[in-house]
Amino acid sequence: MLFPTIVFSQKECEVTYISNEGFLIEIDGIKVMVDALFDEIKENWCDSPSDSITDLMKNSKPPFDNIDIIAITHKHVDHFNESIVVQHMLSNQNGIVICPNQVNAILAENPNYQKIKDRIISITPEPMSDSNIVVSNVSIKVLRLEHSGSMKKDPESGEMVNRHHDVENVGYLFSINGDKIFHCGDTNPLNEKEYNTFELYKEEIDIAFVERLFFTFYREKDLEMISKFLNPDNIIMHIRPEDKGAYFDYAYQKDGVYVFINKMESINIEVQ
Ligand SMILES: [Zn+2]
């Protein structure tokens, strides 16, 4: 007698590290780029793409061909460059940009904006809120996440204020044929209230791209906090160049934690 067998189809998600928090993600033939379209930053506080990588992105050449979704978390130069986004969009006639309104306002200043504006979805949910959209058969939850604090003393009030308070930062939860990929942008890992509100740990996230400040603030408790907030099966840690060696040693033995050392390195992660 034959018994039906339940087959769990294992799928692979290919992740390529571009620079900083910029990644190319490919799963089920869908290609998503997050925070990848920027160029050289002439300081050593973050990785940035070389000219040859930037050229490939501008001209939609492999591996940056046929990108379905270009997601941008916020306007900072280590996540977004207006001219490169527009050039990419002109060479990729089917791609859709999703970004917060502040990023769209910068794109609107580009002389070629009219040619691409119909393929831009600009959305900034209110603080503590999210919005759901569908792009290229991918469901996307756009979450307003406070930009991490760079605390400075306000010269007038004397109070400590978050220098990035007004930066619209959004996180993205992509649902691609049931597989869930999360990218938090420059979230503030100390904002527990926000993460408690969103209850992302209930989402069964397959892969979470996580901001380096989880490690900066929580050190060896970082994975505990990421589990508490997100509970993902796999974590891709964004780490400052200077911390990579130390983090690699610390995280090396841990299941499902990945740290990229080299730009344009790709890995395959099994998802169900
Ligand atoms: Zn930022």
Q: Using one digit for the tens of pLDDT, what is the confidence trace for 146-202?
A: 999 877 788 888 887 788 889 999 999 999 999 999 999 999 999 999 999 999 999
Spacing, Cα 23 to ligand 1 middle (Å): 16
Spacing, Cα 54 to ligand 1 middle (Å): 20
What does the pLDDT read at residue 152?
77
Domains of the chain: 12-265 (3.60.15.10)
Residue 46 corresponds to which amino acid? C
Q: Running DSSP on this structure, what letter comes out for residue 126?
A: P
The single residue listed with the structure tokens 């609107």 is 108
What is the model's pTM? 0.92
The token duo for 52 is 């040859």
Spacing, Cα 6 to ligand 1 middle (Å): 45
Q: Using one digit for the tens of pLDDT, what is the confidence trace for 101-130?
A: 999 999 999 999 999 999 999 999 999 999
Q: Using one digit for the tens of pLDDT, what is the confidence trace for 77-98?
A: 999 999 999 999 999 999 999 9
Q: What confidence category does residue 6 fall into, taking pLDDT thresholds of 50, 70 and 90?
A: low
Spacing, Cα 147 to ligand 1 middle (Å): 7
Rg (CA), the chain: 19
Q: Using one digit for the tens of pLDDT, what is the confidence trace for 218-232?
A: 888 899 999 999 999
What does the pLDDT read at residue 113?
98
Half-sphere exposure of 252 (CA within 13 A, CB side): 7
Spacing, Cα 7 to ligand 1 middle (Å): 43
In the chain, % helix, strand, coil (3-state, to 5) comes to: 25, 30, 45
- Give the distance, in angstroms, between the CA of residue 206 and the centroid of all CA atoms in the same chain: 14
Mean pLDDT, the chain, integer: 92
Residues lining ion ligand 1 (Cβ < 5 A) are 76, 186
Q: Running DSSP on this structure, what letter comes out for residue 70?
A: E
